Amino acid sequence: MGKVKRLRTVGVDVSAAWVDVERAGPGEAVVRQRWPNTAAGHRQLGRWLTHGGATARVVLEATGVYSLDLALWLHHQPRIDVMVINPRVSKDFAGACGQRARTDATAAHTLQEFAARMPFTPWEPPSAAVLAMRAVMRRVAALVALRVQEQNRLHALRASAALPAVVQRDVQEQIRSLGRRIARLEREARALVEPAPALRAAYAHLRSIRGIGQRSALALLSELAALPPELSVRQWVAYAGLDPRPIRSGSSVHPPVRISKRGNTHLRRSLFMPALVAVRWEPAVQRLATELAARGKAPLQVLVAIMRKLLHAIYGMLNADSDFDGEKFRRSVAIPA
């Protein structure tokens, strides 16, 4: 009879400089260790996890660039499975376990307990092109926000005659520089889309919606293409943080229903401007917005509902490999009252 391999459950808390790990296995004491968050540290961690021929199930949080390289490296190791979870999920799990403190060690312990107790879903990394495009478009979003700040600053400077003109000129130059950098990065993102037939087709479908321009299409595509293909449209909505979060308690606690905002802020922000423009220029979306307003919905409620409906429509378009259809949009999932 062959030797039974030990299965270890592992929690990994990732920071910029360090990786804090808790490891547990059958017949083994719980062990905690810290490794540098570097390529050499990742190799040491891998050997430590599988020492003695064991296999490991590793759970870590999605913490952006700090966890990405480690998750990718672990994914390619033969006796290691990795699961990447939303930090909100681990926070809620820690609360359910009665954990009050939050340190690197307690975070690793929470993730190890999650690996031991909860269903394990192996992580499938996006393609290199999708990861690169997502990084580029998130940088574009950051530069766009910075440019808006500078434009607001310029408006304030022009309101006062007492301030020196050299400051205005410097801010104007900064705005022009940001514009050039944004355009260059958007060209880089398009260059990543063109060689990939699936990305190129999805990009064209997104552009078929009046309200989604080049930048919005690239931003949406970079976030959506990174999602696992088996997700349902309800999971897309939850991932974007656009799912309703009703609060009902007894007969008197009935605050207005709000969205959860527990998902990907980049995706949610990427839907805001397309929804705003589509309400004006896409007839099917405009009709729906008018109906919602006639039912007493506030302007922001209408806009959030349109964002959610657009995400439903995009899900259908990409799965059916088709362009936007206004009639299908109106017949799609009903908006809750």
Tally Cβ neighbours within 10 Å of residue 186: 17
Q: Do 279 and 289 form a contact (C-beta atoms < 8 A)?
A: yes
3-state secondary structure at position 71: helix
pLDDT digits (tens, 9 = 90+) for 122-156: 998 999 999 999 999 999 999 999 999 999 999 99
pTM, rounded to two decimals: 0.78
Task: Give the total residue count for the chain.
Answer: 337
- Residue 91 tokens, joined: 């926070």
Q: In angstroms, rounded to a whole number, what is the distance separating the alpha carbons of residues 122 and 21?
A: 18
Angle, helix 265-281 to helix 128-158, in steps of 10 degrees: 70
Q: In angstroms, rounded to a whole number, what is the distance separating the alpha carbons of residues 32 and 23?
A: 6
Percent of the chain with pLDDT over 90: 68
Given a cut of 80, whether residue 192 has pLDDT beyond it is: yes
Q: How many Cα neighbours within 13 Å face the side chain of 123?
A: 27
Q: Do 126 and 226 form a contact (C-beta atoms < 8 A)?
A: yes
pLDDT digits (tens, 9 = 90+) for 268-301: 999 999 999 999 999 999 999 999 999 999 999 9
Q: In angstroms, rounded to a whole number, what is the distance separating the alpha carbons of residues 170 and 221?
A: 35
Helix ranges, 208-298 (H): 214-224, 233-239, 265-281, 283-294
Angle, helix 299-320 to helix 283-294, in steps of 10 degrees: 140
Given a cut of 70, whether residue 4 has pLDDT beyond it is: no
- Residue 265 tokens, joined: 């802020």
Q: How far is CA 60 from CA 202, 280, 320, in A?
A: 30, 43, 34
Which helix or strand (DSSP H or E) is residue 263 part of?
none
